Structure 1
Amino acid sequence: MPKQTKPKQKQTTEDDLALLDELGLDTVPEKPKKLSAKEERIIAGFEEIEHFVEEQGRLPQHGEHRDIFERLYAVRLDRLRESKECRKVLQSIDSRGLLEADNDGHPPLEEDITDEDLLSTLGLDATTGNDITQLKHVRSRAEIKSAEEIAQRNPCEDFEQFKPVFENVQNDLDTGLRKTLKYQDNAAVNQGDMFILDGHKVIVAEMDAPFIADYGRQDRRLRVVYDNATESDLLMRSLQRSLNKDRASRRITTPDFGPLFSQVEAEDDYPTGYIYVLRSQSDDPFIAEHRSVVHKIGVTSGDVKQRIANAKKDPTYLLADVEIVTTFKLANINAKKLEALLQKFFSSARLDVELQDRFGTAVKPREWFLVPLEVIEQAIEKIREGTIGQFRYDPNTASLKQL
């Protein structure tokens, strides 16, 4: 088959130009018009909208459930349609007819509107610290709400049970008792673990039995509670993927009280010591009525009996004799940290009482709690096991609840 060749394009000759000149036609090529900075900005913004339409096959839409940039393009397109100046600049390049649709009755375009102005229209802060060009970690709503990655969040009906947990955790973060660490890819997730995901503190409240999912991998169904009073029922691997995708995700550590039951003595450790639980013999009507659950919890390095010898004269002991209910012998323990841990753990059940010492000074004892003895013993056992961070004390049921 003979090879086809393109016909040679005829070149414009001097004779052609002379003929065109005789016909009165201008043969001088028109110089391209130089655009102002504002016109260039208008065209650049319009081209972003055109690119969106080309990719999505539709016009950008308004709505809080839409991606932030789609909402930005929708507002921008409305403004461009309403501006005579913008329509004049864009008329020759609007090949898709995007400017011809009716507007939605938004206010007229300002003289020199910017992306920051458009973001402000959306109710978003666009100050220097929140420059739109710096929104590196913003993910689309479609991605955030992907059914595979994040299950539907529903109102948490028993959030009052979790609210004090989140409040205590925030206080621990503020005081340095807890820290946040970058979540490591597919790191372990256990019941009671806490994370920061999509800007919210979350807690793994429940964890079902493991099962074998696709590709022979083990998975578990979780109940995850968020600090905005919502919860979701999702798979462990879905939570892990969400934590991996969120560049700002963090793991919240358990309280850092240092070594409590160490094999190596620290500077302020006791060679031997005791956790002791006391019961007051006070005739105060309230204490008498609740005597079986009103306990003082403390730690000492000496003899407990010697320490309580003058209890009747000491407001710390409610100005009454006390009964030693039980003691736990310890060795190589950081007493200050242990006391802080115990008192913080039972802080929701602290006895609110004020007494006057022998000088008439008001004293509020801080080591008395409305807690059953068996629950105190359970808490001490959790400290021994190193799992106390996975539990909280529920004063309504007078029991330990796993987080």
Structure 2
Amino acid sequence: MPKQTTDEDLELLSELGLDTEPDPVSQRSAREEQIIAGFEEIERFVEEQGRLPQHGEDRDIFERIYAVRLDRLRNSEECRVILEPLDSRGLLDAEANTALPSEADLDDEALLASLGVDADLENGITHLTHVRSRQEIKAAEEIAQRTSCQDFNKFKPIFSQVQRDLEMGARQTLKYQDNAAVNKGDLFILDGQKVLVADMGEPFISDYGRSDRRLRVIYDNATESDLLLRSLQRALNKDKTSRRITNPDLGPLFSQGEAEDDVQTGYIYVLRSLSDDPFIAENRSVIHKIGVTGDDVKKRVANAKKDSTYLLADVEIVATFKLSNINRTKLEALLHKFFDNARLDVELKDRFGIPVQPREWFFVPLSAIEEVIEKIQAGTLHQFRYDLETARLTQS
């Protein structure tokens, strides 16, 4: 039999600072709960949009409903009594952003009826009839946006080649990062389908003050859509299994995340020379050696001053990046190729007097090297180039 809570138990709990009073039972009627629920929907709209709901035929149907509902709540003494203690934003007294336009000749009941809303407060101010939920409307819009791709024959070979590349390991898929860059030619997996960004319109500023672009998106089932850039990003964010398909030039360089059974395959290392050469000393902060090794980096550079590869001088290790399950040779070649226009042109004589030209030193700041590594991990390096004049990455 369950133990009963005694007066001594309550006293002890009280001494410990715990509230022993029973939770108050809500005394609100169903009608009051409906009025509050309707007001909370308006509050959510204001929080998301940063403004009051407005009237107008050009407005979203739900915004028009919220605008009319707010008017009715403001004009109802009964509703104000219920809501004023809960109105932390002052919505009941805030001035509307716009006057009622073409809907002005309709009274509240007629307007609500035209929107599919039951205007009878006795039946509930929040009751909607013949109005789909936001989720239903959004899903319908997504379906409606897709149309048959009339020139799919141009894109079918691309999808076929991408599938072959994935099977052969020439491409890989990476987890899509929230709101990551989307560019023309990018490939993704969204809701189990391969997606190609075939074209991008001119940038414009949306109604909410954000930059956006209209896209032409091709799906591997021979359909297409004209999604907005931000809509595609939201869809990729929402789909927890969405992936970015990498460019074939990158190949399978990085693992998808370090696991206990990963094979440790090395490091990217960045070195700075401690040479007394006047040119190197003057530009020491932007001259770096970039390499990839499977050995311990400290051991590798222990005898740097005897090796022309290290400019016959001691070096400082300024950064290392741990790698797992990568092709070291391919990764190093990719890094050197990307920074080829910044390669340091220097000739030294080794300890035997033979002239040598070290090829792994670059006139590039550490920040640019770190950014390149991030782009490789994201599978987007092919979208950028290194600008020697600005010492920064720019979109190609």
TM beyond 0.5: no
Larger Rg: 1
